[in-house]
Each structure stands twice: as C-alpha cells, then as structure tokens.
Chain A
C-alpha cells in the first residue's frame, strides 16, 4: 500500500476533474453496486489513463471491503490515491450523483403506484430472487474450507450467531480482527 506522498493532501484539480468525469459516466451502469464495474474502472483509470498504480487500485478495493461503511467507498479511496482529498470528493460525487438521482425518481414513481398490480407483482416477485442473490454474495465472500479452515469455521459460527442470537455485530467484527491479527486464522 503506497503513501499518498507525491499526490499531496489536496491533490491535482485536473486529475480530480478527470476522475469526476470517469465515475459520472460509470454511475448509471452500476447495477448490482459499483463493485461490478471494477474491470471497467481498471481499464479507464490504470491501463488507459495511468491515473493510479495497479497496486493502489487493488489495495483500494481490499481496504474498503474491511473498513466500516458501504463498499462503494472504494471509489473514494481510488480518488484519494490519485488526487488526494479533491480526488476523493470528486470521485464519490461522480459515482453517486446520477444513480442516486435516478433511484430517487424511480422509487417515488413506484411508491406512488404501489397499489398497481404490476408494481405489487414486481416488488413481491423480486423478493425471493433478492434473497438468493444476497446468499450468493455471502457465499462468494466465504473463505475456502480447504485452504483456510479456521477462517471458514469462524464465518460459519458468525452466520449461526447472527441468525439465532442478537449479539452485537460489532463484537463479532472485533473478535474476528483480533483473531486475525494474532495469526490464529
């Protein structure tokens, strides 16, 4: 993970504008979350325009997965690595603005027609698919039981605790981080 060093805290405004444009263009394609656009982002930011190094690109995704908050914050980190604070703000506004505006209008349209048969069929019909897709997300993030048996057992124990008890989730995170830092996983 490289330091911000040469970029500086405030960053280069030209690079920040470029980032804003790239993320603005990608925003409306991010069905399933910004993470689905990672290959496209890599092409635009690393390969074509060299706005950041490959190592920074990868570590932005890894860090955002572990840090608190929505995963989309990896976009802010990419901005930070290429253009400091201005880059982080520009990237985040770029990725959020179009999708958020669309979501607001569509969800209002849906909410005001929630008695329509087609709207109710859509909302109820998507429920089972949503649950299945969320399970697939968790499944793909699971450690492998062959290579990382202890981490896998921890994940299974956490799943049971979350399902069956009301233990504060933050304690589970703290426990996992401690076990990992001590090298027990």
Chain B
C-alpha cells in the first residue's frame, strides 16, 4: 500500500492510540464508521481515504464487528499486537461502561411513564442522524474510487450494483461478498497483471 507520507502522521504512543479510539467510539452514536473516517483520515491523518477503504474491505470479509477489526488492524500496524489490543480496548471499554449505566438508568426511568415519549423520540432522532452520517460518509469514500485500477466509472458502477443487490434486492451479504466481490477481485487482478506492476507470488 503506497503511503503519501508527507501528509500522513502516526500516533506517538499506546496512550495516544487508546485515547484516540476512546474519543472516536464515544462520538459514534448509532455506529462508528462515520466518526472513524472523520477522525482517522481527516483530523489525525493516520490513514489516507484509500487506505481506510482497503482496511475496511478486509475488516468486512472477516468475522467480527467491522469497526473493531478495523481498529485492531490500525493498532497492529503502528504498535504490533499490543497496539491491536489497546485499540480494541479503547473502542469497547468506555462505551460499554456508559451503555450499561444507560441501560440501568432507562430501567429506573420505566417507573415514570411520562419520560417514555421523549426518550423514544430522542432515540428516534439519533437513529435518523446515524443513517444520514453513514450516507454522507459513503459519498466521501466514493472519491478514492475515481482513481481505482478498473477505472472510475466502472468502479462506481460496481459500487452501485453492490448497493442494489444488498439494499434493494436484499441479497444475503455473503453472496454479494463472494459473488460480486470475487468477480471484481479477479477483474482487478487481470488489470494489475496486464500493467505488469506487481511482483508475482
């Protein structure tokens, strides 16, 4: 993976890594992908947008939560297995404590029926914002596709097809990953080979 090093930086310590993933996770209401892209690519500049999508691609075909796999890979890249552990811990520890407190508070609040409406309303508002955040992030992540090996319009068309199969036709994720993903990987391999860029395995 080429790194345009003049623009990117690295975390200085495990402590910085832990704090980064904790603050990131705590801002991620209804999912962490949007905040992760903002914090890691734009604010801290640890990854280029292309690296972000590539890591996310690997994170997604592996079992486990995508964002946890992603943070593990980033931690491992900078500090080895200790970094991987610290990144996951940062992602989980504080949000889990807050969530359990929230669950306890909401359990107590069930004694006050008049609080139920506003609580349900607030959760609905957060859910709407979370959906919008993911779509806005996708629009940003489509930018690196323009320089894709298969050509900008082809790769955008493949992204649109993946969306239709999963979002509209509701195909199972595994079929889309194996079928369309497999075909796209083979196509990309053919393009790379014809360019003669890569060393052979």
Interface residues of A (CB under 8 A from B): 1-5, 27-34, 36, 60, 62-73, 76-77, 80-81, 85, 88, 92, 96, 98-100, 102-104, 106-108, 110-111, 113-118, 120-143, 148, 151-152, 154-163, 166, 169-170, 172-173, 175-183, 185
Contact = CB atoms under 8 A, between A and B. Distances in A.
Contacts of A155: 128-129, 131-132, 135
Contacts of B25: 68-70
Contacts of B91: 69-70
Given A66-B30, A130-B56, A135 B106 contact: no
A43 to B, nearest CB: 18
19 contacts: A2-B110, A3-B110, A34-B64, A65-B30, A67-B95, A67-B102, A69-B96, A76-B100, A102-B64, A117-B198, A123-B1, A126-B61, A134-B137, A138-B137, A159-B136, A161-B136, A162-B34, A162-B137, A181-B121
Interface string B145-174: 100111000011011111100110000011
Tell me if A's interface is mostly helix, strand, loop or mixed.
helix
B47 interface: no
Interface of B: 1, 25-35, 38, 42, 50, 53-54, 56-69, 72-73, 76-77, 81, 84, 88, 91-92, 94-96, 98-100, 102-104, 106-108, 110, 117-119, 121-142, 144-145, 148-150, 155-156, 158-163, 166-167, 173-174, 176-177, 180-181, 184-189, 192-193, 198-201
Contacts of B92: 69-70, 73, 92, 96
B110 A99 contact: no
Tell me if B's interface is mostly helix, strand, loop or mixed.
helix
A162 B95 contact: no
B126 A66 contact: yes
Contacts of B148: 124, 127-128
A120 B198 contact: yes
A113 B117 CA distance: 54
